[in-house]
Structure 1
């Protein structure tokens, strides 16, 4: 644009200079015409030369024709120069548009790369969370198993002590051995039945916890897949809108 303004300014200066030169030449020719006319008047009585007006008019006409031809040539050259300037400006504009398009393409590519990186990081974070949850569940299960094992050991110790006390009482009360033996058998059977019932309850509770943990893991995995599918659809819709907008601009 600055180049075009400088060229226009130079054209104006050149045009004004050419007009001024033409005006000076025309004024000079007119002065010559007046001087020649004044000097030739006393001699008309003797001879009849070619009138100076005719000579000067021919010279003026030839000069004007030459100036007109020169002006046409200059205008033709000016037109060609303006055409070259316009062509150069168009080429510069096309180059700038291409450069801007390349910048936009690079920006879009960078945005897509960043979006992909963010998606990858989100997936990695979700995977880390899932692994942390699974590890926490495993640790809780291990702690629960240890607690239950300790509880069973304690109960066995209690039962061992109780049976020892019963045996001691049985040995101390030999007189009532049979009655004590029957009572001990009854108590032993009752204790076994109670232990079996408690064991069945514990196993049922453990199985229920295990099933709940498995179901929770399955639901978590299903939710992760569903969220990933929703995210993929959303990104595909955004990409489709962007491409449609890009095609509309083109």
Structure 2
């Protein structure tokens, strides 16, 4: 089938399919007469795999590595994906139940203990670091941690104040269009600022992924939006545009 047909079948946009082709994630055959992309049954199955991995929050670069690996076994992958999705479902259901109980508690219908208020949450590990390791790999995070840990208390305080000043500046322009010259100049400064303070560890892909995290994790979003409502969403869009354009 052609691109438009596959897009209609899967609800994946034509633009996204073109992007997958461009980065080598899903590369269809080209019609030798008109150059149209032609997707085979194998391509359709591969797209299904891509979407399963995306639902599990795998970045596209990691998905490509997995699917390109000669040892990739589709049957094993499907079994693993099902296991991970069931785990995700159980976490969501536990949190939904806690939410329902909290609503009843607020209405005075029941009384929850403090322990019950946090059923379904698991913060035994740093969620930001886990997400960063998943997106960018251990080396990047270890390098960032090492740089900060090697600072004395005064240096760490200086970095903290510097970050707050940077976010206050970004908050001051959050109402402009993310693609505007003002926003993109700010993103250029922010990109180099992060690398200057963390030892040049952020690639453009990591920069865009960081923007995604600003919105995807509600706790992260809350910390950023304290500088100005809507800042996290603005940064996500502006950072993605900057990474794509550069």
Computing the radius of gyration from Cα coordinates, the structure with the larger value is 1
Structure with greater helix percent: 1
Work out whether the TM-score is over 0.5.
no
State the TM-score, normalized to the length of structure 2.
0.19
